[in-house]
Structure 1
Amino acid sequence: MSDHFSQVSAHYFTSRPHYPKALFEWLAGLCPERQQAWDCGAGSGQASTDLALHFESVLASDISQAQLDLLPKNPKILTRCTSAADSHLLPNSVDLICIAQALHWFDLDAFYTEAKRVLKKEGLIAAWCYGTPIIGDEHINQLFQDFYQNGVGAYWPPERKHVENGYASLSFPFSQLCSPNFELREKWQLEQLLGYVQSWSATALFIQQEGYDPVDTLRNALAEEWQTEITIIWPLTLLAGRTAS
């Protein structure tokens, strides 16, 4: 698993969109028991806090201690800096494994071996991702998509392609369930969008290689166009399943 986010951990914590509450309600409703959830690749806990509303205990694991250090304190949540292939959880102990916007970074064979080891017989595994947002102003959206493709497009890690194709080419060796359609939706001012862009792995790599922040270019392009809060939507792709019997 690659760590692309320690250097942008503060932006990741403050500026990522929120997952819909209905997603966690749907997942919890499919679990016969709600004792233990594992948020694998948890980052700064964007999913962990919501999982703690439904489960007695949540393990939030990530390879970035800088990310985990930002996770809000919660007596139900234990953080552990470790790889996706080494949870330190007991066999057959987990009711739900969640991988939120992280599966594409994993060594999948090693992770799936670990997931099958720790899942209960009726346990559930769910992985999801969201791609490029759609901004509810046509002209601003065009400028934003151009920045995504041409401004920082060359700096996205190769794994980004899996997010762009909705995990269509990733293996998922579980009995897959049909799921509702979910989306992330926010009303943001311009600076909130720019903070989100600063949390991108591509932005971090651009700054590292080019020596300046490309977000300043995007700010200049959008400043006169962005007058108020604008609705932004991220369609969400969800893979959910159980261990095949």
Structure 2
Amino acid sequence: MSDHFSQVSAHYFTSRPHYPKALFEWLPGLCPERQQAWDCGAGSGQASSDLALHFKSVLASDISQAQLDLLPENPKIFTRCTSAANSQLPPDSVDLICIAQALHWFDLDAFYLEAKRVLKKEGLIAAWCYGTPIIGDEHINQLFQDFYQNGVGAYWPPERKHVENGYTGLPFPFARLSSPNFELREKWQLEQLMGYVQSWSATARFIQQEGYNPVNTLRTALAELWLSEITVIWPLTLLAGRAAS
């Protein structure tokens, strides 16, 4: 698993969209017990805080200590800088494993062995991702999609293709559950969108390789068009299943 986000951890913490509350009402409702949740690949805790509303204890793990350091303090959340294959949790101890926007970075064979080791008999595992957002202004959306595909398109890590494909090419060796449709939805000013783009792994790689920030070019292109808050939508892809395979 590669660390693509330590260098953009501040942008990731402040600028990523919020997951829908309905998601965190649906998932715990499927768990027979709500003692222990594991937010694997937690980043700066975008899912951890919501999980803590429903579970007695939440482990937020990530390979980036810089990301974990930004997670808001919560007595129900404990952090661990470790790989997805090494939770250090006891066997048969976890009611819910969540992998939010991170499964495509994992060594899946090793992670799935660990997930099956720590999940309780009726434990639940849920992995989700969201791809390129849809901007609620046609002209702005066209410029944004062009930036995604052509501006920084060559700088996306190869694992990004799994997000674009909605995880259809990834194995998921669990008893699958059908799920409702969820989406992320925000009303953003231009600078909020720019902060989000600044948090991309592709943006970080572009700056590292080219020596300048491509977000400035996008900001200039959109500045005269962005007159107020605009709705931004990310359709969410969810894989959910039971421990039994």
| TM-score normalized with structure 1 length | 1.00
User: How many pairs were matched up?
Assistant: 245
Deviations 1:183-225 (A, max 9, x none): 0000000000000000000000000000000000000100000
Q: Deviations over 1:149-180 (max 9, x none)?
A: 00000000000000000000000000000000
Counterpart for residue 132 of structure 1 = 132
Deviation at 1:243, TM superposition (A): 1.9
Distance 1:201 1:4 in 2: 6
Q: Tell me which amino acid in the other structure corresponds to 1:236.
A: L
SS in 2 for 1:39: strand
Matches of 1:143 and 1:10 in 2, distance apart? Answer: 25
Structure 1 equivalent of residue 99 of structure 2: 99
Distance 1:211 1:227 in 2: 30
Residue of structure 2 in register with 1:224 after alignment:
224
Does 2:77 align with 1:77?
A: yes
**Partner residue, 1:86:** 86
Give me the whole-angstrom Cα distance separating, in 1, the residues matched to 2:183 and 2:161: 19
TM-fit CA distance, 1:244 = 2.1
Where does residue 195 of structure 2 map in the other structure? 195
The aligned residue for residue 12 of structure 1 is 12
CA distance in 1, matches of 2:2, 2:206: 17
* Unpaired stretches in structure 1, ≥5 consecutive residues: none
CA contact (8 A) 2:122 2:244 kept: no
Task: Tell me if the contact between 2:121 and 2:244 (Cα under 8 Å) persists in the aligned partners.
Answer: no
What code does the residue aligned with 2:66 have? Answer: A
Aligned mates of 1:73, 1:26 — CA distance in 2: 25
Give 3-state SS (helix, strand or coil) of 2:42's partner.
coil
**1:76 to partner: Cα distance:** 0.1
Partner of 1:57: 57
Deviations 1:50-92 (A, max 9, x none): 0000000000000000000000000000000000000000000
SS of equivalent residue, structure 2 residue 92 = coil
Partner Cα separation in structure 2 for residue 167 and residue 208 of structure 1:
28
The whole-number CA distance in structure 2 between the counterparts of 1:127 and 1:104 is 10
Q: Runs (4+) of structure 1 moved beyond 6 Å?
A: none
1:113 lines up with 2:113 in the alignment: yes
Cα root mean square deviation, aligned: 0.5
Decide whether the 8 Å contact of 2:34 with 2:56 is kept in 1.
yes
Q: Is the partner of 2:88 in helix, strand or coil? A: coil
Amino acid at match of 1:67: Q
- Which letter maps to 1:166? G
Structure-2 separation of matches of 1:125 and 1:82: 19
What is aligned with 2:29? Answer: 29
> C-alpha distance in 2, partners of 1:106/1:35?
25
List gaps (5 residues or longer) in structure 2.
none
Q: Is the 8 A contact 2:134 2:141 kept in 1?
A: yes
Aligned residue for 1:45?
A: 45
